[in-house]
């Protein structure tokens, strides 16, 4: 259940720290004071989409933190994601540019992960939730959630899309068989050319180096011979002259030992020069022109360069080109085979139908339960004799949503034939039926906290009292929070908060007050009587609270 909610710089809230108790809590106050803002802030902490407009004017960021007692599915999720620290603290930060950051127990997470956890902690029903029930996708989502079939519904959609893609591929194959065959022939020729070339990227640089050496073999022989002559041949050869210098210095060293270091340097230089001379002679003797090998290498380089130019790549990339052409040829070979394309399509169709049949079975059971329980609640909501039906209509071919369409049908009184919810129900009836559906769906879920934001709109009188009792009964097993304008609903709550705007000169902010006994009487009286509160309305408020006998309050 929700324990604490901390809000800072969110819309018209500067800073609020709220502590919650179990049971049924009501949030009341004048229109526009920020009651729904608190619910929206909690929704943000639970993973709702962020928007820069939520940041209070003049502030850098909005910050919301929600602390829960985590058990059941939420505790399992925390353990599976290595986020179990003994706490369950959700935090969201939205900056003035609309960028959002999310944290669970102090660890950064994606918004998607935050939403996954949020769905296991709280079930939030917004002001216009009943209107979503008029749309087919809203009805289907609710039924699948009621039957815990959301994951299976996603699998059905994925398998249908895979089947559809293969069907389209098979149809394209049939329509473009001639074009495919021409492309296959061209690919066959190009791939054969590359395979005959047998290009090896690892040896390409070696080939270039060898060609360059052989192309300059004559000049290399001549140049190395000239260098060797300068080192060894004649009286002016470097090795001989350096040897003569070394002999002179060694003779002088006998008279002046300090020349020993210079003698050592000359000896080392003489040895290295002699070694260089020997290495140069070996190089000259080893190298020789190979015109046939040179012609072979030049032909190889020309062939590789031409292939690279034809495919508009560097020579080093020819291996990648060959692999890409081979993959495309395999694709075309498979695509051009109508039997293979049809076989793959049939396999995908069978997989889709298998998942869709399993989903249909779950939906049938969930639809029966939902119809029965909503019909039962309608009798308490001033629609005696009315009935609700979640009707599943089989589809011949199926689609991404399964093998059936769904329509919520209702009759609001005995003897009235059932019709589509959007056509039969009036505004007030739609509110009541929508509330009944949401309550039933919430009971089937695992979230320990249920939040209803003005879902009682369009309801009044005795029906409003029944709605309050319904929410209070639901709170026996779940924590229930409800934003309401109805005194009959608020009077049934175990505790009540009043939300008001406070003028702070240059700005207006929201404030929340936990109501004690007398304050609660005044608030219920205000809800009953409007601007002017009289003793009569106070007396009526006391009577309503006494008849409902709610529990004690909480703190803010």
In the block, residue with structure tokens 């909501």: 381
Q: Using alpha carbons, list the distances in angstroms from residue 422 to 123, 170, 404, 440.
A: 24, 41, 19, 19
Handedness of CA 458, 463, 468, 470 (dihedral sign): negative
CA 206 to chain centre: 49
The reported pTM is 0.60
* Token duo for residue 42: 């909690």
**Between these two residues, 96 and 246, which has the higher pLDDT value?**
96
Determine the Cα–Cα distance for residues 244 and 136; give it in Å rounded to an integer: 106
Beta strands in 272-401 (DSSP E): 387-399
Q: How many other C-beta atoms lie within 10 A of the C-beta of residue 87?
A: 14
Chain center to CA of 151 = 16
Least Cα distance to 145 among 455, 447, 445 occurs for 445
Structure tokens at 43: 């929704």
Question: In angstroms, what CA-CA distances link 108 with 73, 90, 429?
Answer: 21, 10, 44
SS3 62: strand
Contact, 462 vs 469, CB < 8 A? no
Q: Rounding to the nearest 10 degrees, give the CA dihedral for residues 204, 209, 212, 216.
A: -160
Helices in 176-237 by DSSP H: which ranges? 177-197, 201-215, 217-232
User: Around Cβ 147, how many Cβ atoms within 10 Å?
Assistant: 21
Lowest mean pLDDT among 7-16, 74-83, 329-338, 473-482: 329-338
Output the average pLDDT for the chain: 84
According to DSSP, the residues that pair with 95 across neighbouring strands are: 61
Q: Which of 201 and 397 is assigned the larger pLDDT?
A: 397
Residues 522 and 533: beta-carbon distance below 8 Å: yes
pLDDT at 128: 57
Contacting residues for 384 by C-beta, under 8 A, at least 6 apart: 413, 414
Q: How far apart are the first and last CA of the chain?
A: 16
H-helix or E-strand spanning residue 89: strand 89-95
To the nearest 10°, report the CA torsion of 405, 410, 415, 417.
Answer: -30
pLDDT in tens, 158-215: 999 999 999 988 887 777 666 667 777 888 888 888 888 888 877 878 887 767 777 6
pLDDT at position 264, please? Answer: 87
Task: Copy the structure tokens of residue 366.
Answer: 């969930």
Output the furthest CA–CA distance in the chain (Å, rounded): 138
* CB within 8 Å of 210: residues ≥ 6 apart: 293, 297
pLDDT of residue 387: 92
What angle do the packed helices 338-380 and 136-146 form, to 10 degrees? Answer: 80
Report pLDDT digits (tens) over 326-367.
Answer: 888 877 776 666 777 788 899 999 999 999 999 999 999 999
DSSP state of 258: G
Say how far apart CA 189 and CA 1 lie, in whole Å: 69
Model confidence over 293-318: pLDDT tens digits? 777 777 888 888 888 888 888 888 88
Q: For residues 197 and 115, which has the higher predicted lDDT (pLDDT)?
A: 115
Q: How far apart (Å, rounded) are the C-alpha atoms in residues 459 and 453?
A: 14
- 308 Cβ partners below 8 Å, 6+ apart? 314, 315, 317, 318
CA distance 482 to 454: 7
Helices vs. strands in the chain: H and E counts, helices first: 20, 15
Instruction: Answer whether 52's CB lies under 8 Å from 74's CB.
Output: no
pLDDT in tens, 18-76: 999 999 999 998 877 778 888 889 999 999 998 899 999 889 999 999 999 988 888 88
What's the CA gap between 374 and 479, in Å, rounded? 21
Report the C-alpha gap between 362 and 148 in whole angstroms: 8
């Amino acid at each position: 259940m929700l324990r604490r909610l901390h809000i800072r710089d969110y819309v018209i809230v500067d800073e609020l720290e709220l502590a919650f108790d179990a049971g049924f809590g009501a949030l009341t106050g004048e229109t526009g004071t920020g009651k729904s803002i608190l619910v929206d802030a909690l929704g943000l902490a639970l993973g709702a989409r962020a928007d820069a407009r939520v940041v209070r004017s003049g502030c850098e960021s909005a910050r919301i933190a929600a602390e829960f007692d985590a058990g059941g599915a939420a505790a399992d999720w925390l353990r599976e994601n290595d986020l179990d620290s003994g706490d369950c603290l959700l935090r969201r930060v939205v900056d003035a540019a609309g960028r959002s950051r999310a944290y669970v127990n102090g660890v950064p997470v994606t918004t998607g992960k935050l939403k996954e956890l949020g769905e296991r902690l709280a079930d939030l029903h917004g002001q216009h939730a009943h209107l979503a029930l008029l749309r087919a996708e809203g009805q289907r989502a609710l039924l699948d959630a009621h039957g815990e079939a959301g994951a299976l519904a996603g699998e059905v959609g994925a398998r249908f899309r895979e089947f559809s893609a293969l069907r389209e591929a098979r149809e394209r194959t049939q329509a473009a068989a001639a074009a495919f065959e021409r492309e296959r022939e061209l690919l066959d020729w190009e791939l054969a050319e590359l395979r005959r070339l047998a290009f090896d990227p690892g040896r390409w640089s070696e080939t270039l180096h060898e060609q360059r050496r052989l192309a300059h073999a004559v000049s290399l022989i001549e140049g190395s011979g000239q260098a060797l002559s300068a080192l060894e041949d004649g009286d002016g050869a470097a090795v001989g002259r350096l040897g003569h210098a070394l002999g002179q210095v060694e003779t002088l060293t006998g008279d002046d030992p300090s020349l020993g270091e210079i003698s050592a340097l000359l000896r080392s230089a003489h040895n290295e020069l002699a070694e260089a001379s020997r290495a140069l002679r070996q190089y000259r003797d080893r190298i020789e022109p190979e015109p046939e090998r040179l012609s072979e290498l030049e032909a190889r380089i020309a062939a590789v360069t031409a292939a690279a130019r034809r495919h508009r790549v560097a020579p080093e990339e020819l291996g990648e080109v060959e692999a890409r052409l081979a993959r495309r040829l395999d694709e075309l070979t498979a695509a051009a085979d109508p039997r293979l394309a049809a076989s793959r399509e049939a396999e995908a169709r069978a997989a889709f139908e298998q998942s869709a049949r399993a989903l249909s079975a779950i939906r049938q059971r969930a639809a029966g339960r939902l119809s029965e329980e909503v019909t039962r609640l309608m009798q308490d909501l001033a629609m005696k004799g009315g009935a609700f039906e979640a009707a599943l209509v089989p589809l011949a071919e199926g689609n991404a949503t399964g093998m059936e369409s769904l329509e919520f049908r209702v009759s609001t009184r005995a003897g009235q034939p059932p019709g589509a919810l959007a056509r039969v129900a009036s505004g007030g009836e739609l509110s009541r039926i929508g509330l009944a559906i949401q309550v039933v769906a919430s009971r089937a879920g695992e979230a320990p906290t249920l939040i209803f934001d003005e879902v009682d709109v369009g309801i009044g009188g005795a029906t409003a009292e029944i709605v309050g009792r319904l929410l209070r009964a639901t709170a026996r097993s779940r924590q229930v929070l409800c934003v309401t304008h109805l005194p009959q609903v608020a009077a049934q709550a175990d505790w009540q908060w009043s939300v008001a705007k406070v003028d702070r000169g240059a700005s207006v902010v929201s404030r929340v007050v936990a109501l004690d006994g007398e304050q609660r009487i005044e608030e219920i009286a205000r809800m009953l009587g409007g601007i002017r509160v009289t003793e009569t309305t106070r007396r009526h408020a006391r009577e309503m609270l006494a008849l409902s006998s709610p529990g004690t309050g909480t703190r803010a």
